[in-house]
Structure 1
Amino acid sequence: MRLKFTKMQALGNDFVVIDAFNQSVSLTEAQIRRLADRHFGVGCDQVLLVEPPSDATADFRYRIFNADGSEVAQCGNGARCFARFVRAKGLIDRDTVRVATAAGTMRLELMDAERVRVVMGVPRFTPAEIPLAVHEESLEYQAEVGGVSVRFGAVSVGNPHAVIVVPEVATAPVAQVGPALSSHRLFPAQTNVGFMEVVDSHRIRLRVFERGVGETLACGSGACAAAIVGIEQGLLRSPVTVRLPGGELQVEWKGRGTPAVLTGPAEFVFEGEIEWTD
């Protein structure tokens, strides 16, 4: 089987994007892991599938697979790449795109040759909706991780996020606390873990450990989650500029019951084909 793909990136968060309109695509978890492998495959943080919609409420179906082969519901950086991909490939002739995801329908807006605005949806704070295994909602939660007590905010922006406020992201224990909290029993579906340094009321620095991937250069949903948690805790005000290792994103959020909006760049890297022998 030969499969055409496009390599894309958004602030260093990289993707293999596959058109399932013009070719038949049926990938196993093992094949996704092989695609994502940086030594034996193409190499990426996530594999994105562009599929026909299942109903008239969306232009496309958007599916996201982590490097470990697991399917997830949301990826903000991937959504920006998705929008540029379908426009450049002639799959749509509009600058506004509606995509159906496992987390609901999203609206993507191509603003110029580089930037895309993503309406991410309404954040969810109820523990059962995150999901988080606690009885009552709170602005801050606590967990024992490796013998150390960690305090964090939690929110779902289509996928679960824990956000830890740290004095400096440069020295944050991402490699130790990230995987431990990500797979903690409090998160039955695991979670992404953000380490947030507040610069001022409109600016933060952020590093994110993504479940099923590890630390990435940028995480769009993680940027939204960090800004939302910071606003909820009274540390930030919208709009928020989020500085990640790969570059900057802008997040807007007007408060509970309103959608988070993410703006940032997305770029093409190269086109290719891969042939499966198994």
Structure 2
Amino acid sequence: MRVAFRKMHGIGNDFVVLDLRDGAPAPTPALARALADRHRGVGFDQLVTLSPAEAGSGADAVVGFLNADGSPSGACGNGARCAALLLMEESGRDSVALRTEAGLLTARRASDGLITVDMGPPRLGWREVPLAFEADVDAPPLSTPHPATAVSALSMGNPHCVLFVADAEAAPLETLGPALERDRLFPERANVEFAQVIDRGAVRARVWERGAGVTLACGSGACAVGVAAMRRGLVDRRVAVRLDGGTLTIEWPETPGAGVLMTGPAATVFDGELSAGFLAGVEAA
């Protein structure tokens, strides 16, 4: 048995996409870890799966995400754009709906070949993030020492910890990122973003992703950075978030209950097949 896959990326945040709509079994955490190995597998930040949507659900497909360590990820903005691109190319339509663990996400083609995904409204209650105990999400009591001038905690379908710093380039991403991911305040771990406000229209951000480590970009992380900066009055309601791999535009309309709109590119790198030998090796491990 051989399994087809597609390698895709959104500004360097890379994915392996498995289409399960023909009844193929869902990947195990062990398979995800083996595929994520950039030397012995294919390599990715997240594994994206497409499953059939229930009739009448309003979705074109059910989209799931697994991190490189095999753990589930409730949301993945760049992965959602890649899934949307695949479905748009397949259907010839300019808009699609994705059923995810974070809810129903709508996506549409934007100008210049970009894709906009409505990531839904941010979740700002301490239970929604979630935090381990009741605390102010705009001043969360982290047990991990850090250099930030301000910290915000919120969920974009997965938990985020946004730290505002004077210089994002100098942030100790590789050392502080994993410590903050597993801070006792976050029972489900957290994605960690170091954000530097450039001006009213731009923020520089670097990301440590829960279950993946340092990544070139994170769509839900860019949304979290944008929302946190907007809530503090540091930027306008439309802002460019400059990540290591490129820039995403984040817009959060002031309409009550409005979702966060994320716009950026998505690209297919290649299509391939996992060999029977590779799959047998995973099963035998």
Tell me the TM-score range normalised by the shorter chain. Answer: over 0.9
Once the two structures are superposed, residues 87-133 of structure 1 have per-residue CA deviations (whole angstroms, 9 ceiling, x without a partner) of 22x2x332111111111100011225731000000101100011012
Displacement of 1:142: 2.9
Match of 1:142 in 2: 141
Contact 2:162 2:192 in 1 (8 A): yes
2: CA distance, partners of 1:229 / 1:131: 16
1:25 CA displacement? 3.0
Question: 2:41 — aligned with what?
Answer: 41
Within-5 A mapping of 1:174-253: 174-253=173-252
2:33 maps to a residue whose letter is R
User: Structure 1 residues 112 and 21, CA, compared in 2 at 3 Å: closer, same or farther?
Assistant: farther
Query: Any residues of structure 2 matched to 1:143-162 within 5 Å, and which?
Result: 143-145=142-144, 147-148=145-146, 151-162=150-161
Return the offset for 1:18: 1.2
Once the two structures are TM-superposed, the CA of residue 55 in structure 1 deviates from its matched residue by: 4.5
CA distance 1:237–1:134, shift in 2 (3 Å): farther
Q: Show the 5 A alignment for 1:1-278.
A: 1-22=1-22, 24-56=24-56, 57-88=58-89, 90=90, 92-111=91-110, 114-145=113-144, 147-148=145-146, 151-255=150-254, 257-275=257-275, 276-277=279-280, 278=283
- Which piece of structure 1 moves more, 6-15 or 231-240? 231-240
The verdict on how the C-alpha distance between 1:245 and 1:148 changes in structure 2, with shifts beyond 3 A counting, is closer
CA distance in 2, matches of 1:228, 1:112: 23
Q: Deviations over 1:165-184 (max 9, x none)?
A: 01111101111211111111
Give me the whole-angstrom Cα distance separating, in 2, the residues matched to 1:55 and 1:132. 36
Contact 1:142–1:149 (CA<8 Å) still a contact in 2? no
TM-score, L = length of structure 2:
0.92
Contact 2:135-2:141 at 8 Å conserved across structures = no
Write out per-residue CA displacement over residues 1-24 of structure 1, whole angstroms, 9 at most, x where no aligned residue.
Answer: 311000001100000011112361
* Preserved contact between residue 141 and residue 185 of structure 2 (Cα < 8 Å): no
Q: How high is the sequence identity, in percent, across the aligned residues? A: 42
Gapped regions of structure 1 (runs ≥ 5): none
Counterpart Cα distance in 2 of 1:138 and 1:67: 28
Q: What amino acid is aligned across from residue 173 of structure 1 in structure 2?
A: P
Asked if 2 retains the 8 angstrom alpha-carbon contact of 1:142 and 1:152, the reply is no
Aligned Cα RMSD in Å? 1.5
Say if 1:71 and 1:55 are closer, same or farther in 2 by CA, change over 3 A: farther
In 2, distance between residues paired with 1:112 and 1:235? 27
**Paired residues, number:** 275
1:233 deviates by 1.1
1:94 is paired with a residue whose SS is coil
Bigger Cα displacement from structure 2, 215-224 vs 136-145: 136-145
1: distance between equivalents of 2:107 and 2:76?
Answer: 12
What's the TM-score, normalizing by structure 1?
A: 0.94
Matches of 1:166 and 1:137, distance apart in 2: 19
**Could you say what secondary structure the match of 1:135 adopts?**
coil
Q: CA-to-partner distance for each residue in 1:28-53, whole Å, 9 max, x for gaps?
A: 11111111110110100011001101
CA displacement 1:60-88 (0-9 Å, x = unmatched): 10100100111111000001100111222
Distance (whole Å) between structure 2 residues aligned to residue 55 and residue 178 of structure 1: 41
The CA distance in 2 between the partners of 1:24 and 1:110, in whole Å, is 29
Q: Quick one: which amino acid aligns to residue 41 of structure 1? A: G
Name the structure where strand makes up a greater proportion of residues: 1
Residue by residue, what CA displacement relative to the aligned partner does 1:147-178 show, whole Å, maximum 9, x if unpaired?
A: 55765101111111010001111101111211
Contact 1:161–1:222 (8 Å) recurs in 2? yes
Name the CA distance, whole Å, in 2 between partners of 1:207 and 1:251.
15
